[in-house]
Amino acid sequence: MTAQPAKKAAHTTAVVPAAASPVSAVVAAVAPELTGMIRVLTCGSVDDGKSTLIGRLLWDATDLYDDQRETLQKGKKVDGGNPDFSLLMDGLVAEREQGITIDIAWRYFDTETRRFVVIDSPGHEQYTRNMASGASHADVAIMLIDARHGIKRQTRRHAAILDLVGVKRVVLAVNKMDLANWSEERFRQIEADFRSLSWRFGFWEAIAIPVSAVSGDNVAEPSKQMPWYTGPTLLAHLESLPSRVTDSAGPFRFPVQTVLRDIRNDFRALAGTVSSGSVRVGETLVDALSKRSAKVLRIATMDGDLTEAGTGQAVAIQLDTDLDVARGAVMSKADNTPAIARSLETKLVWLNETPYDPRGAYLLRTATDLIPVSNLEIRALLDLETLASNPSSVCGVNDIALAHIALGRGAAIDTFADAPETGSFMLVDAVTGASIAGGVVTEVSAAVAKAGADTFILTRAMLERGLCSDLRNLSSGDGEAEFRRRANEVALILRGAGVAVEIESPQDYSI
């Protein structure tokens, strides 16, 4: 890969706005795209120097703009006369005033080969939800601790949250080594503690690096103070990790977002993003819910047809026969389809200030489906330090709970371990629309719970006759989506009135 022009040496040069440059040579050097991207979560508390660490990374990785550098140089200085790097990270005025980081902040910087997306999350226990939501976007997490204090209960909480939302690679940045006399003994002890901690989780990789964010030791530059450490610097380690979504290994999943049409050319295609695995033209796809299948005729994009589409690619798939497939369906291959879930065992993090209400009206947002929840039952709360689950029927903000969710109708859902994108969900408050909880599916049951004598079945025929009698082309997808939306709302209203309700599922009536 070719180098970018703005490198370290430019730090000290004066501001030259858009100076004329030897154009043709530069274009060749800058036009190539970066070959990868990695999303890095940073977690730890303010006291551990998290904002300073990221600020230092940005500073040393050199694609900061001069006006940003100047602002920092002019600002107040912290220990040792260094600029206050944390000013680069703490965004909102209120937060700057309080000196704490409440919300997740996103930062972007490029090294020679790759885009780094830094997701900065708050460390305080009362912001577990912010950390969990930030972590769900990350490929790797940097857990920051103070070398003087070592691993604390917060570190254990953080590791548990990372594991829950599916982060597979973690780095323990043992910060403030300068204040711990650059002591190898101290570091090795923390490293050993970290090993025994991370062993309990499903991480693929967990390493510890001794750093000093303030002085930059082992951040981007190897430390002169710690010759005993022979491992990579933090930046070097992050650059060595594999890029985001280039792996198309998992089972093929294609959650349908919408149906695209071009009447002039008799074109009808399912639009979506491949969320797992890959697909080729000519392969047979099946809609798990209706069990109907068809062959892939074209994988279309505005830039031309593809012969194959892999994980992360947004495409439109045209089938050789029109299936009555609408938004919410998940296309897969016959040998590995998602379950038609009627109930789920889940782990979720409660995100909203409003606590769990057993009579609340909830919706489950999966990849592209929105399903009425017929029953949400909190079974236990997870103690993030001991990892023990304690039976509970209540759940509030920042709690991590084990919950049983019964769905108002069947939906195509995976376990998080099998296919993360079709095995995760948001729990939505049907009335306010708020995102109540985010969770992962640990077990899927296709068994239809025996409808109790008092369960009201909302049948297809009933809805078609009345509420949905105005809907035309019910088979074209659009009508079906609206049909489902209305069915969902009726189910929610009935449930709010205390009536147990089930929506008749497509597989109950089709073919």
Partner 1 sequence: MTAAISHLDLLEAESIHIFREAAAQFRKPVLLYSIGKDSTVLLHLARKAFWPGRLPFPVFHVDTTWKFREMIAFRDKTVRDFDLDLIVETNQDGIAKGVNPFDHSPSVYTEVMKTLPLKAGLDKYGFDAAFGGARRDEEASRAKERVFSFRAEGHRWDPRRQRPEMWRLLNGRLGAGESVRVFPLSNWTERDVWRYILREKLDVVPLYMAAKRPTVVRNGQLLMLDDDRMKVQPGEVVTERMIRFRTLGCYPLTAAVESDATDLESVVAETLGARTSERQGRLIDHDQAGAMEKKKQEGYF
Write out the binding residues for partner 1, residues 147-186 only, by CB under 8 A.
165
Q: Is 366 in the site for partner 1 (CB under 8 A)?
A: yes
**Which member of 171, 289, 367, 395 binds partner 1 (CB under 8 A)?**
367
Which DSSP category does 182 fall into? T
Q: Is 41 in the site for partner 1 (CB under 8 A)?
A: no
Q: CB within 8 A of 295, min separation 6: which ones?
A: 282, 283, 284, 285, 319, 320, 321
Sign of the four-CA dihedral 118, 123, 127, 133: positive
Calpha distance 40→312 (Å, rounded): 18
Q: Is 312 in the site for partner 1 (CB under 8 A)?
A: yes
Q: Is 421 in the site for partner 1 (CB under 8 A)?
A: yes
Q: At what angle do helices 66-74 and 50-61 cross, to 10 degrees?
A: 130
Q: Is 354 in the site for partner 1 (CB under 8 A)?
A: no
Burial class (CB in 10 A: 0-12, 13-18, 19+), 225: middle
- Shortest reach from residue 244's CB to partner 1, in Å: 7
Q: Is 21 in the site for partner 1 (CB under 8 A)?
A: yes
- Shortest reach from residue 67's CB to partner 1, in Å: 5
Q: Which is nearer to partner 1, 209 or 279 (CB)?
A: 279
Q: Which is nearer to partner 1, 90 or 217 (CB)?
A: 90
Binding pattern for the stretch 255-284 against partner 1, x by CB under 8 A and - elsewhere: --xx-xxx--x-x---xxx-x--x------
- Answer whether 420's CB lies under 8 Å from 442's CB: no
Q: Which is nearer to partner 1, 307 or 455 (CB)?
A: 307
Binding pattern for the stretch 60-89 against partner 1, x by CB under 8 A and - elsewhere: -----xxxx--------------------x
Strands 435-445 and 456-458: unpaired
**Which member of 46, 82, 115, 236 binds partner 1 (CB under 8 A)?**
115
Q: Is 420 in the site for partner 1 (CB under 8 A)?
A: yes
**Which member of 50, 56, 129, 253 binds partner 1 (CB under 8 A)?**
129
How large is the C-alpha radius of gyration of the chain?
26
Which helix (H) or strand (E) is 28 found in, with range? helix 23-30
Q: Is 330 in the site for partner 1 (CB under 8 A)?
A: no
Q: What values do phi and psi take at 87, rounded to 5?
A: -60, -20
Burial class (CB in 10 A: 0-12, 13-18, 19+), 364: buried
Of 480-509, binders to partner 1 (CB under 8 A) are 481
Which DSSP category does 290 fall into? T
**Which member of 46, 78, 82, 91 binds partner 1 (CB under 8 A)?**
91
**Which member of 184, 308, 418, 504 binds partner 1 (CB under 8 A)?**
308
Q: Which is nearer to partner 1, 213 or 299 (CB)?
A: 299
Q: Count residues contacting partner 1 (CB under 8 A)?
A: 100
Q: Which is nearer to partner 1, 180 or 401 (CB)?
A: 401
Q: Which is nearer to partner 1, 207 or 474 (CB)?
A: 474
Q: Is 417 in the site for partner 1 (CB under 8 A)?
A: no
Q: Taking every pair of C-alpha atoms in the chain, what is the biggest distance, in angstroms?
A: 80
Count Cβ atoms below 10 Å from residue 421 Cβ, excluding itself: 20
**Which member of 2, 79, 108, 357 binds partner 1 (CB under 8 A)?**
108
Q: What is the 3-state secondary structure (H, E, C) of 428-483?
A: EECCCCCEEEEEEEEEEECCCCCCCCCCEEECHHHHHHCCCCCCCCCCCCHHHHHH
- Shortest reach from residue 355's CB to partner 1, in Å: 16
Which DSSP category does 45 fall into? -
Q: Is 301 in the site for partner 1 (CB under 8 A)?
A: yes
- Shortest reach from residue 188's CB to partner 1, in Å: 36
**Which member of 9, 12, 17, 230 binds partner 1 (CB under 8 A)?**
17
Q: Is 92 in the site for partner 1 (CB under 8 A)?
A: yes
Burial class (CB in 10 A: 0-12, 13-18, 19+), 17: exposed
User: 232 is written with which tokens?
Assistant: 């990579």
Q: Is 126 in the site for partner 1 (CB under 8 A)?
A: no
